Amino acid sequence: MRRLWGRLSSVNVQKAVWALEELSLAYERVEAGGAFGRVREPAYLALNPNGLVPVLEEDGYVLWESNAILRYVASGHGRGTLWPEDLRVRGHVDQWLDWQATTFTPAMRDAFWQTVRVPAGERDAGLIARSVAATEEAASILDAHFAGRSFAVGDAFTAADIALGCAAHRWLHLAVDRQPRPHLLAWYARVAARPAAATVLTTPIT
């Protein structure tokens, strides 16, 4: 039995769901986090003491941290597809997974929080501007990377496209002014058109 805890509007839950859908793996998703609560209940904290989503349960095995879940699902069920066989190609998948978690997503955190969760009259314009500027630096790296490339790593869709795709979806749908990034947009349109992506990228950002 495979169970995934987390609300679908969470960017981190989206990564796990997209991977499961890409690989046609059966799972039950349980709403948790945000308006659904649960994450501070003792039973949930026993699964993840951080009180965050997602959490994956699989036949008694428990795993938290979205990119750890993404790696686990991809390496266990997507070798040769989401998880390349070639060591050096796989190294680049890991590179982009780490970059998404340590650079791209943290850069946009304040812009997201301020424009989505803070009432308009209470927003910190300076905080938003600094966050947008930091995210633009990351977006420029992606735009340059995707010039002449169809996917993040190699010639095929991998777990790197899932992690980057979920983060890019959030960035591209924030109510802020952005610089034109034609290569980034072309790649995003390509991966967002995948059937498995429709499960997660149609959810409103909250």
Torsion of CA 89, 82, 11, 127, to 10 degrees: 10
Q: What pLDDT, on a 0 to 100 scale, did the predictor assign at position 28?
A: 98
| Domains of the chain by residue range | 2-77, 87-197
Scanning the chain, the segments in alpha helix (DSSP H) are 11-22, 42-47, 66-77, 87-99, 105-112, 125-145, 159-172, 182-192, 195-201
Q: What pLDDT, on a 0 to 100 scale, did the predictor assign at position 204?
A: 81
CATH topology of domain 87-197: Glutathione S-transferase Yfyf (Class Pi); Chain A, domain 2 (1.20.1050)
- List, in order, residues 6 or more apart from 169 with CB less than 8 Å away: 11, 14, 188, 192, 201
Digit-by-digit pLDDT tens for the chain (206 residues) are: 899 999 999 999 999 999 999 999 999 999 999 999 999 999 999 999 999 999 999 999 999 999 999 999 999 999 999 999 999 999 999 999 999 999 999 999 999 999 999 999 999 999 999 999 999 999 999 999 999 999 999 999 999 999 999 999 999 999 999 999 999 999 999 999 999 999 899 878 77
Q: What pLDDT, on a 0 to 100 scale, did the predictor assign at position 155?
A: 94
Nearest to 128 by CA among 111, 113, 112, 106: 111
Is residue 179 within 8 A of residue 140, CB to CB? The reply is yes
Q: What pLDDT, on a 0 to 100 scale, did the predictor assign at position 203?
A: 79
Task: Give the H or E element holding residue 62.
Answer: strand 61-64
| C-alpha dist (Å) from residue 201 to 9, 14, 84, 194 | 9, 8, 24, 10
Q: Show the tokens assigned to 113.
A: 């929080």
Q: Identify the three-state secondary structure at position 79.
A: strand
Relative to beta strand 61-64, strand 55-58 is antiparallel
- List, in order, residues 6 or more apart from 87 with CB less than 8 Å away: none
Q: Show the tokens assigned to 43.
A: 């039973």
CATH topology of domain 2-77: Glutaredoxin (3.40.30)
The reply to whether omega before 195 is within 30° of 0 (cis) is no
The structure's pTM equals: 0.97
